[in-house]
Structure 1
Amino acid sequence: MYETHCDLWSWDAGIGFDNGLLKYIIRNFHLYIFHRCGAVVIIHHVEVIFLPVVFGGKCSGETGPDGIIDCFYSSTYGYQWGTCTLHEYIRTMTMGRFVCSDKSLNYCYRSCMNEGYSIWVSPVYEDCSCSSSNYTEQALAANCYIPSGTDCSWYKECLQRKFSCNGTSMNNALTFARTLCNLYSEKIGNNGKQWINEVRKCLQFSILPTLRPWWSLSCTEVENALIDSYSLCYIQPHKTLLDVSICQLVASDFFQVFWTIRSTLDKSYNSTNIFIDTMFNTLKNCRESFYQNVTFGEDLRKFDLTISYTKAALDRRRRSVLDDETTISLEIVENLATKLKWQEKGVLWFSQLNFNSINITQSVDLDAVVDELRNSVQQDSLHGKTDDISFKVVSVKGCLDSKCETLSFKIIASQTESSEFCLTNVDRFNTKWDQTKVGTVIEMACTGNYTGTVSRLCGTGGQWKEPDNSQCTSVAIQNLQKQASMLQNSDNTASIVNDILNELNNLTSESYDLRSGDMATSTAILKDISEHVAKNTAAVSDNQLEIFGSLCNSLLDDKNSNNWNELKLKGPSSITGLVKSVTLYTKSYTNVIEQEYNVVENKNIVIEVGKFQAEDLTVPVKSKISESWIADSQTEITLDKKKL
């Protein structure tokens, strides 16, 4: 049973409209600076088919030789062409499905129908049929029919000699194939070298059938056969060596191969792009690989760009080129790279299929490169024009992980025609906001020991709006939330609840300058605790109410009023959630206390918990409360005992 995966690049996700004159399109794609539709389960039913050993023919079961062509006869289908083929080659390439009928022999015939169409029992197709009088000489040297994988001259001496394709793109594909074949470096580890050796052998074996004399193939068909063999070979180059795979490569080996292959870009553009794109997408879809846990920073950066572009009506030939998303991506990214002078700065880059590189002889300040990219979008100056496309970067995200879920920044460029800018500003949490065009929204990584991002809008008149810190949460408070969310799976939860409340009370005390994200997360923690104790009263202890009240008092302090107002703009859920948590928790606490009445009094909140007596109930009980805002209040509620 095997699983196959595919990946949808963000470049494929877009929206657009056509106004009759120009097509306006917004696309997303990933940009790397050097820096799964779902799984489909396929069950393979394996059957072993025996290939004929023809005694008296030209093919010796002991000595071959490889590549001898013969027109042989079978009572099942009559005459057809067959090739004297090494038994081990047949077994390897068909994963054991086809074997010689006499397994002790080194050679047997592989029929044209079997090799070309993977068919065993069928009427013979015209291109495979022959008669007893037909005979074909070997047009190529014997070694052409048993490639070693290590002899890189095979492409020139065999494949290129068979097909005269000078001046066509097939020559470019051959240049790429030879570069890959010659790929060997002392810098690559043993696992990487084994993978390379198996890949280059697999590539030669995969296109070997094109040398058979009965095939009349065009240069384009041979080129396609070369390209089609790429993904098949580097995913699993040897059908029985399952641990030899691109998924097993370490990062240093992968990128050594990656950039070496890139060196063929100028001479074999199409083949190189296709190979590298599939190579990178395959790596992303591996169940386990270094890429799954890669972090972007230091020498490797990743961005997610959203580009809007327009293109005018074109003639059919030119339109067919521009409608290729690969070509569009290349033109845009190359234009951006030129505008930002990445090549002069010694930066290696690629985007989906499109990338570029130069030899670096000096250190590269990628932080400066990133800052320039970010600032250009902030100032709405990152736009350009090629021969047929006008484009603009409308957003950019700096990714810190392979799935771009954790960000270092996000910028949504202004859609206004204003020429005003907000000046550089540093807020109270020490986040620096660079000069930005009016109408632009910026997200930055939260400063300090915090997770998440803070966003800010450059408003009308060049005035910064207040930063939105609702996604910024202290790492310590976030860890407490993880503990609270797992209470139902824990033993001795009373002790755990006490620890969480005590620690959260300390973290939200007056000595800490909280952000709105802390408020929202703390409220979520209290919700988890109150819901847990409602179902598990054993998690409640006598002294918890005082800690609970102190914690709520800290959250409701005047110094946090701006945080609550910030959350209020997003809806009333946070403050309402806090009130609901207090109500639910105190109800649970009432069920376990021994005394009839208990008061927890704080500056910002007073909690009264008591058991009902056979008399009218009046709240608050002012005689037991010292806070003047309650004791001096004329407001009270009396509940008739009969109603209760």
Structure 2
Amino acid sequence: MDFLLGLSLVLILTGFARGDCDRNVGPAGTNKCVLLQPYYSRYQWATCLTDQYIRTYSEGKHECRFSSTYCWYQCMIEVHSIDEGPVYDDCACGRDAPRNVTTQPTVVTSAIPEWCFSPSGTECSWYRDCLEKRYPCKEKGNSYALDYAEKFCKLYQDHYSEFDDIGQQWIDAVRKCLQVKLVPILRPFVKATCEGIKHTAFDSHPGCYLHPDEGKPSICDIGFANWARVFWTVKSAVIQDARATFKQMLDVVQGCGSVLLDNRMQLIKLNFKKTKDNIQRRLDEIAKNVSDLISEKMSWFKRGIMHFGYPAQDRSNRNKRATDNDTDVDNLYINILIAASSEFDLNAKNIPAANISAEAIDVAKAIENGDVRVKMEDGLEFTELSVCLNYNCTETSLQVTPAPSEEIEKDGGIRASTVIIIVVAATFFLVLVALSVVVLRKMRKC
């Protein structure tokens, strides 16, 4: 691979020049249309980029030759990780470009600052000055850059000093990784959609949590307190479209084999049984609504308790390709993760301490006694609640069944009242009969 990159520096000169790439001064972001035979049979785009960017983007697999600060990086390696063979249409250029694809860049890269093509991660303005400038999605009401990413980046920045050294190293690397993974979208020959950008960005999160940069700590290395602060601080900001990221982070940390629960964080699991073949709403939406309902009834917000509800089906009897939002199984599960704001939410100020373990028990009792009722109108019946001792809920400290529905209790109350009335009436009738018999006997004696 390194040989190919070095060779590209020579062979690229045979292409159609669109810019220069001096090994010491760049500039980053210029493009060339090149034919890199014998490795590829078609012309493709290549971009002048920094060695730092290439190392981060490729997770250390690629680098510039001869300790160069800048070098060319061909599209097929950057976008598709293919170092020889075919050239796909989205990378093809010049005479090999498809008829419906222009052979020239569609955007003037000089309109985007050079630093955009090799972000350090320290500048949260990258999303506004680079990504949003290239794709103005805010005016379409669907901007990942401004609605989510910039806020996410600034939260890290605002609370940076409240993390320990290894936590800060991870934050720096993740902020850089999340920006670097979106740099290919800035290419002048790329045409991305606002929705596509959002999907690409969210898909990059798990990888950046685990392998943010060469030689930098993984989320598995930073410890419980650090990742919990990241999770709940971002969650408390109520950032739009962020639910997928929260679930991704939980899944990633679970894969680390780390301890996910302690006396400052607790998991509650609710079991449901399908009563209809079709469930109209997504399970993710149902989980959020159930979590919000319990939070409101238990006054969690006022008492400094954070919560996150998400679907978590029993995977032991599921098809390997199933997802958390599948509804083709008989039993469904919703997890509600709760934590103390005073422990993990760096946005919180003057929040009272909360006993999370005791709170989970209180929720179970409230469900069992009927003080909190989870009404389902989506073809689901609430059957059981468990207070979990581990993240997979294979061990529990308490299991309860919900109180009967109000309709059943009301119907039962009516039936009980009817029985009482009948018994009283029958007793009264028997007393009258007895009195009548006594009176008749006395009359006969007279």
| 2:228 is the alignment partner of 1:255 | yes
Which position in structure 2 is the counterpart of 1:112? 75
Counting only pairs closer than 5 Å after superposition, residues 515-526 of structure 1 correspond to structure 2 as: none
Specify every segment of 5 or more residues in structure 2 that has no aligned partner in the other structure, as ranges.
96-102, 312-335, 342-347, 411-446
Identify which of 239, 246, 255 aligns with 1:285: 255
Deviation at 1:309, TM superposition (A): 6.2
Identify which of 64, 67, 81 aligns with 2:29: 67
Amino acid at match of 1:199: V
Which position in structure 2 is the counterpart of 1:560? none
CA contact (8 A) 1:48 1:97 kept: no
Aligned residue for 1:330, secondary structure, equals helix
Structure 2 vs 1, CA of residues 381 and 114 (structure 1 numbering), >3 Å: closer, same or farther? same
Aligned residue for 1:307, secondary structure, equals strand
Which position in structure 1 is the counterpart of 2:400? 411
Amino acid at match of 1:302: L
Counting only pairs closer than 5 Å after superposition, residues 32-43 of structure 1 correspond to structure 2 as: none
Structure 2 vs 1, CA of residues 347 and 127 (structure 1 numbering), >3 Å: closer, same or farther? closer
CA distance in 1, matches of 2:144, 2:91: 30
Which position in structure 2 is the counterpart of 1:347? 305
Amino acid at match of 1:213: P
Which protein is bigger by CA-based radius of gyration?
Answer: 1
Aligned residue for 2:181, secondary structure, equals helix
Which position in structure 1 is the counterpart of 2:388? 399
Structure 2 vs 1, CA of residues 369 and 127 (structure 1 numbering), >3 Å: closer, same or farther? closer
CA contact (8 A) 2:266 2:337 kept: no
Aligned residue for 2:248, secondary structure, equals helix
Deviation at 1:366, TM superposition (A): 4.7
CA distance in 2, matches of 1:99, 1:245: 21
Counting only pairs closer than 5 Å after superposition, residues 92-491 of structure 1 correspond to structure 2 as: 92-100=56-64, 102-131=65-94, 134=104, 137-138=108-109, 139-166=111-138, 168=140, 170-172=142-144, 174-182=146-154, 183-184=156-157, 185=159, 186-241=161-216, 244-265=217-238, 267-268=239-240, 270=241, 272-287=242-257, 289-291=258-260, 294-295=261-262, 297=263, 299-308=264-273, 319=280, 322=281, 324-352=282-310, 359=348, 361-364=351-354, 366=356, 369-380=359-370, 382-385=372-375, 388-389=377-378, 393-413=382-402, 419=409
Show CA shifts across 1:372-411 (max 9, x none): 422223234543447x537654222223344445433222
CA contact (8 A) 2:138 2:146 kept: no
Which position in structure 2 is the counterpart of 1:58? 20
CA distance in 2, matches of 1:67, 1:103: 20
CA distance in 1, matches of 2:56, 2:359: 48
Amino acid at match of 1:122: G
* More deviation, 207-216/79-88: 79-88
Amino acid at match of 1:61: R
Structure 2 vs 1, CA of residues 369 and 144 (structure 1 numbering), >3 Å: closer, same or farther? same
Amino acid at match of 1:63: V
CA contact (8 A) 2:374 2:382 kept: no
Which position in structure 1 is the counterpart of 2:444? none
Amino acid at match of 2:185: T
> Which structure is richer in relative contact order (CA contacts within 8 A, separation 6 or more)?
2
CA contact (8 A) 2:46 2:73 kept: yes
CA distance in 2, matches of 1:264, 1:364: 20
In terms of fraction of residues, the more helix-rich structure is 2
Show CA shifts across 1:78-106 (max 9, x none): 53221101123223322444344x43322
Aligned residue for 2:232, secondary structure, equals helix
Which position in structure 1 is the counterpart of 2:49? 85
Aligned residue for 1:126, secondary structure, equals coil
Aligned residue for 1:344, secondary structure, equals coil
Show CA shifts across 1:177-220 (max 9, x none): 12332204222111101000000000111110000011111111
Structure 2 vs 1, CA of residues 363 and 48 (structure 1 numbering), >3 Å: closer, same or farther? same
Deviation at 1:173, TM superposition (A): 5.6
Deviation at 1:311, TM superposition (A): 6.5
Structure 2 vs 1, CA of residues 161 and 113 (structure 1 numbering), >3 Å: closer, same or farther? same
Which position in structure 2 is the counterpart of 1:580? none
Deviation at 1:414, TM superposition (A): 6.1
Sequence identity, in percent? 26
CA distance in 2, matches of 1:78, 1:374: 65
Show CA shifts across 1:50-82 (max 9, x none): 251145861112211111122234344353221
Structure 2 vs 1, CA of residues 306 and 245 (structure 1 numbering), >3 Å: closer, same or farther? same
CA distance in 1, matches of 2:115, 2:48: 13
CA distance in 2, matches of 1:214, 1:351: 41
Specify every segment of 5 or more residues in structure 1 that has no aligned partner in the other structure, as ranges.
1-45, 421-644
Amino acid at match of 1:58: D
Structure 2 vs 1, CA of residues 365 and 104 (structure 1 numbering), >3 Å: closer, same or farther? closer
CA contact (8 A) 1:93 1:239 kept: no
Deviation at 1:280, TM superposition (A): 1.2
Amino acid at match of 1:300: M
CA distance in 2, matches of 1:187, 1:257: 11
CA distance in 1, matches of 2:365, 2:215: 52
Structure 2 vs 1, CA of residues 168 and 382 (structure 1 numbering), >3 Å: closer, same or farther? farther
Deviation at 1:129, TM superposition (A): 2.8
CA contact (8 A) 2:267 2:388 kept: yes
In terms of fraction of residues, the more strand-rich structure is 1
Structure 2 vs 1, CA of residues 340 and 134 (structure 1 numbering), >3 Å: closer, same or farther? closer
CA distance in 2, matches of 1:115, 1:255: 33
